[in-house]
Structure 1
Amino acid sequence: MRLRHTAARSLLTAVATLAIGLLGLAAPAPASASVLDIPPRGANDWSCTPDAAHPQPVVLVNGTFKLMAENWSALAPRLQRAGYCVFAVNYGHAETDAVPRAAAELKDFVEAVRGATGARKVDLVGHSQGGMMPRYYVKFLGGDRVVDDLIGIVPSNHGTTNPLAAPLGKLFCPACTDQMAGSKLLKKLNAGTETPAGPDYTVLTTRHDEIVVPYTSALLSGQARSVTNVVLQDRCPLDPFLHDQATKDPVVAQWVLNALGRTGPADPDFRPRCIGAA
């Protein structure tokens, strides 16, 4: 019952956010003057120059229906304090556009970040659709040459069986259709290798995910040297975070920093400090 109520609240939030976007108050362009395009604290300092210890700027990629200021309110300042140049963007009309279109928009934003910072590559950290959609950019739009790390937080890599996806897709959300388990888009994306050479891949998921169902659909196949799959409760059994607020989980933040701070994906033997640990 608790999960059903949480899913209902998530849907209401999503629909409200989308309605604002469809009224023209939210624009995907990074230079928009709209209050809804205010970046999270710590992000979008276009004068930031990466240093030798943090050579790749970090681009944060929203989940469906999310606004960057809320989606990354915890993680963006934490990454900035750790020394990274951090960037975020609202894209795809509240992230409802079809995945190929969103991936093309992400490509343009990455190029803008590379141009501003002088960085050869970037790291991508994405939530939900934002963890899956960049794989389209990597696989089909040349992102394999410029992405060093792709870190997905509860990503929809193999879609969801959540019954809300189909009606939302029919109403106004092509991205929701693309994220249905077995969709044409996901069959194309996951055909052959799921993890093309170039980036290192880290997946962080929770057993409590009520949106990407089953939670195991987030996991990626690939060689251990370039792919690490993490189920949060395997290290922190009492971790309570569900899908929507997973980017605010301090355990997730530790895994993200571990992946960003080393060669290769996150260390599968990493031991984060669990919530409530002494």
Structure 2
Amino acid sequence: MLDALSPQRRRLVLGVVVAVGVLVLALVAAAVVRSVSQAGPVPQDRPGPVLLVPGYGGRTASLDPLAAALRAQGRAVTVVSPPGDGTGDLDAQAEHLADVADDVLRTSGAGSVDVVGYSAGGVVVRLWVRDHGGDAQTRRVLTLGSPQHGTSVAALGAEVAGGCPEACEQLLPDSALLRRLNAGDETPDGPLWATVRSDADQVVTPTASAALDGALNLRVQDLCPSATTPHGGLPGDPVVLAALSTVLGVAPPTAPAPTCG
């Protein structure tokens, strides 16, 4: 059939066939990574690389204290840069996290990852676990000041501005995305779950929005009653940094010893 085409058209057709073949191979490779990881429960005694997922707006520098502390413990760390400016569809951000996890597992040879989601990044992590294969790829999930049940700040901002970017709309209390995410089991089987929140958080309000049924839910003030850690201070808070060892270790997640820095 190709013989009937001109040389130029023949080259074009062959180029398209090669491109399609490369795409198919890439999709098959991703499927293999996910199917291998789905062979059984993730072993809890084999900590793998750690993925750090930033909050609304995707400012990865906010995660520097976490990355430094984890690397000091000998953990391999990947900071996940969100697609676009980090204010778009949270479900699309979860799909991107799935791609990053596939790549980290493939290149590291590890059997699982641990994931820390800060602020809206914690919602992204839950979407990944629930809807994008993360339940078979992650061993531990730790979320920090995440508006798991929405935040009145997003509602106020949307009201004052007459609307806000898609991720902001999805973080409104009782948004369609959060209703779906919180229907049934808030902490699906697969990873072990933990959350940390601060009573002084003025971004995620009410602060109890950050807690999850079925998780180890920690309040900074339970361990340091005088703490006034704001939302932006959570990634560097002494309680959070201490929890990296007690939550992402080999033993079941527990609260760290009381610490105020």
Judge same fold: TM > 0.5, yes or no. yes
Q: Distance in 2 between matches of 1:94 and 1:262?
A: 35
Among residues 59, 65, 84, which one is paired with 1:93 in the alignment?
Answer: 84
Q: Distance in 2 between matches of 1:236 and 1:248?
A: 14
Residue aligning to 2:140:
149
Unaligned runs of 5+ in 2: 1-44
Contact 2:58–2:87 (Cα < 8 Å) also in 1 = no
User: Number of residues paired by the alignment?
Assistant: 216
Query: RMSD of aligned C-alpha atoms?
Result: 1.8
Q: Deviations over 1:220-260 (max 9, x none)?
A: 012xxxx2000110111111211022101122110122101
Residue aligning to 2:224:
236
Q: Distance in 1 between matches of 2:197 and 2:162?
A: 24
Secondary structure in 2 matching 1:124? strand
Secondary structure in 1 matching 2:187? coil
Describe how 1:251-262 pairs up with structure 2 within 5 A.
251-262=239-250
Among residues 167, 171, 181, which one is paired with 1:175 in the alignment?
Answer: 167
Among residues 178, 187, 206, which one is paired with 2:198 in the alignment?
Answer: 206
Q: Distance in 2 between matches of 1:195 and 1:72?
A: 24
Q: 2:212 corresponds to which letter in structure 1? A: L
Q: Does 1:246 align with 2:219?
A: no
Normalised to the residue count of structure 2, the TM-score between the two structures is 0.78
Q: Deviations over 1:199-236 (max 9, x none)?
A: 111000000111110000110012xxxx2000110111
Secondary structure in 2 matching 1:134? helix
Q: Distance in 2 between matches of 1:243 and 1:165?
A: 19
Contact 2:58–2:82 (Cα < 8 Å) also in 1 = no
Q: Deviations over 1:27-49 (max 9, x none)?
A: xxxxxxxxxxxxxxxxxxxxxxx
Q: 2:260 corresponds to which letter in structure 1? A: C
Contact 1:166–1:176 (Cα < 8 Å) also in 2 = no
Q: Distance in 2 between matches of 1:132 and 1:168?
A: 23
Secondary structure in 1 matching 2:227? coil
Rg larger in structure: 2
Q: Distance in 1 between matches of 2:179 and 2:128?
A: 15
Residue aligning to 2:211:
219
Q: CA deviation at 1:132?
A: 1.6
Q: Distance in 2 between matches of 1:181 and 1:167?
A: 16
Contact 2:122–2:144 (Cα < 8 Å) also in 1 = yes
Describe how 1:77-88 pairs up with structure 2 within 5 A.
77-88=68-79
Q: 1:274 corresponds to which letter in structure 2? A: C
Q: 2:257 corresponds to which letter in structure 1? A: R
Q: Does 1:186 align with 2:178?
A: yes
Q: Does 1:164 align with 2:157?
A: yes
Q: Distance in 2 between matches of 1:90 and 1:168?
A: 27
Contact 1:57–1:86 (Cα < 8 Å) also in 2 = yes
Residue aligning to 2:260:
274
Contact 2:147–2:209 (Cα < 8 Å) also in 1 = yes
Among residues 45, 60, 66, which one is paired with 2:52 in the alignment?
Answer: 60
Residue aligning to 1:22:
none
Contact 1:123–1:260 (Cα < 8 Å) also in 2 = yes
1:91–1:167 distance in 2 versus 1, CA, 3 Å: farther
Secondary structure in 1 matching 2:217? strand
Relative to its length, the structure with more helix (as a share) is 2
Among residues 91, 95, 102, which one is paired with 1:111 in the alignment?
Answer: 102
The more displaced of 103-112 and 159-168 is 159-168
Secondary structure in 2 matching 1:244? helix
Secondary structure in 1 matching 2:85? helix
Contact 2:47–2:139 (Cα < 8 Å) also in 1 = no
Among residues 179, 184, 188, which one is paired with 1:196 in the alignment?
Answer: 188
1:237–1:144 distance in 2 versus 1, CA, 3 Å: same
1:234–1:56 distance in 2 versus 1, CA, 3 Å: same
Q: 1:170 corresponds to which letter in structure 2? A: G
Unaligned runs of 5+ in 1: 1-52
Runs (4 or more) in structure 1 with deviation over 6 Å come to none
Identity of aligned residues (%): 33
